[in-house]
Amino acid sequence: MTTLFIADSVFQNHLVPEGHPERPARLAAIEKALAAPVFAPLTRENAPAGNMHLATLAHPAGYVGEIVAQAPAEGLHFLDADTSMSPGTLPAAFAALGAAERAVSAIIDGEVANAFIACRPPGHHAEREAAMGFCFFNNIAVAARLAQARGAKRIVIVDWDVHHGNGTQDIFWSDRDVLFISSHEMPNYPGTGAMDERGEHDNILNLPLRAGDGGRIFREAFETRAFPAIRKHGADMILISAGFDAHRRDPLAEIRLEAADFAWATEKLMGLAQSLCGNRILSMLEGGYDLEGLAESTAAHVEMLMGA
């Protein structure tokens, strides 16, 4: 069994203002890194187009309609100071959901062991009814709903992006079947993610880190809090909001992880997936803004996934 890698030029057509960190070059850097010979065994696919309906799995139809209505025919349309749409934004955002649907099916049907989707725009800041922080639709939340629709009822979402996954927390706050775990720098954007935010059913686990923390403290938080919570909750599929902006080179935060720390977390989650859910892991790109740090971290993550 192999690892499915979904990438597509459609994701680079979501354009942003000059100097914006969440830029198309991020994906070019990832694709270049994953062109190395060690990645030859990957099953490579482009992203299906996706559609509005997929977005309604995690957002009210009215909200999805509002986003669609704001898409510009040319130029940029700003939803807030750092979240803007270009003509290529909707096709990219929908394709991320189409890719999630394809990957969930491929994993549940046993075609592949696991999958990584190199998509943008990212999704984890998108709340039920709010676009923010470079995000419009919550990709990983839609993936969770798709997995549940295919019979994978108990979901674990691990979000190691350096920013709190406020959108994912908002969507699953009252959902006892979904355990959401987020490690992130605090204080930092978006400001939420304190340890006492635990969800209606104790199904939210926030692991705030401090600026300057590195791999030792990150690993300790996962070992002592995240992994026991996953074992207790159980899982029919593990989803990863794979942001790589906790890398020490990243310009948006001060957590000092190395690519090896992401590989370590990946390996540990694979061990849990092996014992809990037949290896099922779906990982989707979130942040990561230093091209070198992003490329080496993604490569380490995907190379580990290939060992399943």
Q: Which residues are catalytic?
A: 125
CA 156 to chain centre: 12
Task: Please state the φ and ψ torsions of residue 204, each to the nearest 5 degrees.
Answer: -120, 130
Residue 243 beta carbon to Zn ion: minimum distance, rounded to whole angstroms: 4
Q: How far is the CB of 125 from Zn ion (least distance, A)?
A: 8
Cβ 12 to Zn ion shortest distance, Å: 19
Strand, helix or coil for residue 44: strand
Contact region with Zn ion (CB under 5 A), list: 46-54, 207-215, 239-247, 277-285: 239-247
Query: Contact letters (x/-) for Zn ion, 188-227, by CB under 5 A?
Result: ----------------------------------------
Among 31, 127, 161, 250, binds Zn ion (CB under 5 A): 161
287 near Zn ion (CB under 5 A): yes
Question: Least separation, in Å, of the C-beta of 231 and Zn ion?
Answer: 27
CA 235 to chain centre: 18
Picking from 248, 251, 226, 240, the residue whose alpha carbon sits closest to that of residue 301 is 240
CA distance 203 to 122: 23
Q: Does 22 bind Zn ion (CB under 5 A)?
A: no
CB of 308 to Zn ion, least distance (A): 26
Listed residue (290, 212, 218) closest to 249, CA to CA: 290
Stretch that binds Zn ion, among 46-54, 204-212, 242-250, 255-263 (CB under 5 A): 242-250
Among the residue ranges 68-76, 168-176, 200-208, 281-289, the one whose residues contact Zn ion (CB under 5 A): 281-289
Nearer to Zn ion, 102 or 249 (CB): 249
CB 284 within 8 A of CB 266: no
Tokens of 200: 């209606």
Least Å from the CB of residue 185 to Zn ion: 9
Residue whose tokens read 């070198």: 292
Q: Of how many residues is the chain composed?
A: 308
Size of the site for Zn ion (CB under 5 A): 5
Which of residues 245, 250, 296, 303 is near Zn ion by CB under 5 A?
A: 245
> Does residue 275 contact residue 230 with C-beta atoms inside 8 Å?
no
C-alpha–C-alpha distance, residues 33 and 101, integer Å: 25
Q: Is 243 in the site for Zn ion (CB under 5 A)?
A: yes
Binds Zn ion (CB under 5 A): choice among 14, 26, 120, 163: 163
Helical H segments across 5-88, by residue range: 25-33, 52-55, 61-70
Pick the piece of the chain touching Zn ion (CB under 5 A) from 175-183, 230-238, 284-292, 293-301: 284-292
154 burial class (0-12, 13-18, 19+ CB within 10 angstroms)?
A: middle
Binding piece for Zn ion, criterion CB under 5 A, among 44-52, 164-172, 262-270, 279-287: 279-287
**Alpha-carbon span 165 to 182, nearest angstrom:** 6
User: Are 172 and 158 within 8 A, CB to CB?
Assistant: no
Residue number closest to Zn ion, CB atom: 287
Q: Does 165 bind Zn ion (CB under 5 A)?
A: no
- Give the 3-state secondary structure of residue 109: coil
Q: Which is nearer to Zn ion, 92 or 146 (CB)?
A: 92
Using CB under 5 A, list all residues that contact Zn ion. 161, 163, 243, 245, 287
